[in-house]
Amino acid sequence: MLMTEFTIDDRNRIRRKPDRGRFERDVIYPIIDEALICHVGFVEDGQPFVIPTLHARLDDSLILHGARASRMLKHIQAGHPVCATFTLVDGLVLARSVFNHSMNYRSAVVFGRGRLIEADDEKMHALEALTEHIARGRWAEARQPTIKEMNATTVVGITIEQASAKMRTGPPGDDEADYALPIWAGVLPLGEQAGAPLPDPRLREGIPVPDSVRGFSRTP
Amino acid sequence: MLMTEFTIDDRNRIRRKPDRGRFERDVIYPIIDEALICHVGFVEDGQPFVIPTLHARLDDSLILHGARASRMLKHIQAGHPVCATFTLVDGLVLARSVFNHSMNYRSAVVFGRGRLIEADDEKMHALEALTEHIARGRWAEARQPTIKEMNATTVVGITIEQASAKMRTGPPGDDEADYALPIWAGVLPLGEQAGAPLPDPRLREGIPVPDSVRGFSRTP
């Protein structure tokens, strides 16, 4: 990667609480990689649409996939401007005053334009990245895509032209006078947790839970 | 609520896997209420923006708030079309084939237009809903907003004109021939979990963790 930081203009400038804004790739990309899904925004006839979808990142490209018929993918592969947003909620910030309540979070907003990924090797590499993004190691465990399955799947790459991250950490910030109030304040940590794996009712006997599931973690 | 189901047209029709689509308020609204945050999409000069933000729902209105300077809120209060999306990730669906991997989820996509909420009583009621959405009971525990704080906060209401929900539950669906493969398949449940509350370093002694925090649950 040639540049470590994205250029800043009106599109990605952080106007509210600019001290929470970051523009370095090495801050933004770990947020993208840790988020399981993103929310993709696109425009049709002036109407915004926001669709949740699985993603992966390969260098400066965001990879999305789906069925051929997908409205979102048709729109993206046509090269229209796209915004994709990644949000990790880390906790509730409970202040003494209602006004100073907040959230601890890390979010990234990415701007770019997409293209269809058609070449077989590039498409296979992108599908591997999507599978590995869900659960590391799963690509090697599962049955690989057939030509027919490849043809039924649309894969797009969105070149990340510009991006920003925004985050908050730490305890609440109350007005000085409010610290004397007899009101509990603090942070309630939140995070995505995995439960015990549920084997498929049709799972053959004697197949152990694989590494990709036992070792599941969202932290890259 | 006069109508139990939203009208369906090109904007909210579920094209991919229509059997997963739902249009009833009593299916859509619980998803909105359980989601801690939403992703709001709006358009400026043809460019889509997707911003994560806290929300609340009051009947058929979505409530958002923030600082006066917020680009998103200025745009919404001007009455431009808005899309807000709510996503609950319930699990990874690990199939025997890469192709049949999926996610269990519940999502809602809402379309509407916003207006500024200005009247003091309506604004206070909306702020109460936002606070209660974060943690039930918190409004009564915390110091209420002052006039100055109210004036520093913009609150908008978005009338939900149209919406849809989409969801997937259950085990993977593999191709019949793949069930014989010696590959583990099943669901890894995922969900947002709260950790132990972290008291503010400046918390006065002798203040117990309140009900809103001890009883925290996203299920409405």
Q: What is the pLDDT of residues B118-166, one digit of tens each?
A: 999 999 999 999 999 999 999 999 999 999 999 999 999 999 999 999 9
| Residues belonging to chain B | 220
Instruction: Look at B208 and A184 and tell me if their CB atoms are within 8 Å.
Output: yes
Cβ of residue B134 closer than 8 Å to a chain A Cβ: yes
Average pLDDT, chain A: 95
Find residues 152-171 of chain A whose CB sits inside 8 Å of chain B: 152-153, 171
Instruction: Look at A193 and B197 and tell me if their CB atoms are within 8 Å.
Output: no
What is the structure's pLDDT at B134?
A: 95
Q: Give the β-pairing of A61-67 and A153-168.
A: antiparallel
Q: Residues A111-167: pLDDT tens digits?
A: 999 999 999 999 999 999 999 999 999 999 999 999 999 999 999 999 999 999 999
What is the structure's pLDDT at A16?
A: 79
CATH number for the region A18-170 comes to 2.30.110.10
DSSP string for A101-157 = -EEEEEEEEEEEEEEE--SHHHHHHHHHHHHHHHSTTHHHHSBPPPHHHHHHEEEEE
Residue in B139, B132, B193 with CA at minimum distance from that of residue A189:
B193
The list of chain B residues with pLDDT below 50 reads 1-2
Residues of B in contact with A16 (CB under 8 A): 66-67, 69-70
Cα distance from N-terminal residue to C-terminal residue, chain B: 19
Find residues 104-123 of chain B whose CB sits inside 8 Å of chain A: 105, 107, 109, 111
What is the structure's pLDDT at B96?
A: 98
Q: Domain B18-169, what fold? A: Pnp Oxidase; Chain A (2.30.110)
Cβ of residue B140 closer than 8 Å to a chain A Cβ: no
Residues of A in contact with B96 (CB under 8 A): 142-143
Residue tagged 């790459």 (tokens): A157
Residues of B in contact with A88 (CB under 8 A): none
Instruction: Look at A190 and B185 and tell me if their CB atoms are within 8 Å.
Output: no
Q: Where are the domains of chain B?
A: 18-169
**Can you give the pTM of this predicted structure?**
0.96
Q: Quick check: A93 pLDDT over 70? A: yes
CA pair distance A218, B4, nearest whole angstrom: 38
User: Is the CB of residue A16 less than 8 Å from the CB of residue B67?
Assistant: yes
CA pair distance B106, B35, nearest whole angstrom: 10
For A101, the token pair is 């309540």
What is the structure's pLDDT at A67?
A: 87
Of A96, A105, A139, Cβ closest to residue B98: A139
Task: Give the DSSP letter of residue B141.
Answer: H
Specify the 3-state DSSP secondary structure of A94: strand
What is the structure's pLDDT at A1?
A: 46
Which residues face A113 on adjacent strands?
Answer: A81, A159
Per-residue buried b or exposed e for A199-215, using 16+ beta carbons within 10 Å of the residue's own CB: bbeebeeebebbebbee
What is the structure's pLDDT at A65?
A: 97
What is the structure's pLDDT at B115?
A: 96
Q: What is the sign of the dihedral through the CA atoms of B28, B33, B38 and B44?
A: positive
What is the structure's pLDDT at B220?
A: 66
Residue tagged 């008291």 (tokens): B199
What is the structure's pLDDT at A17?
A: 82
Q: Give the β-pairing of B61-67 and B153-168.
A: antiparallel
Residue in A145, A11, A19, A171 with CA at minimum distance from that of residue A90:
A171
Cβ of residue B15 closer than 8 Å to a chain A Cβ: yes
pLDDT band at A3 (very low <50, low <70, confident <90, very high): low
CA distance B14 to chain A (A): 10
Residues of B in contact with A182 (CB under 8 A): 204, 207
Q: Residues A69-78: pLDDT tens digits?
A: 788 999 999 9
Residues of B in contact with A41 (CB under 8 A): 39, 41, 48-50, 83
Specify the 3-state DSSP secondary structure of B140: helix
Instruction: Give B68's contacts (C-beta < 8 A, 6+ positions apart).
Output: B152, B153, B154
Q: Residues A204-213: pLDDT tens digits?
A: 999 999 999 9
Task: Give the DSSP letter of residue B204.
Answer: P
Residues of B in contact with A37 (CB under 8 A): 87, 89, 103
Phi first, then psi: what are they for B182, rounded to 5°? Answer: -85, 55
User: Is the CB of residue A43 less than 8 Å from the CB of residue A49?
Assistant: yes
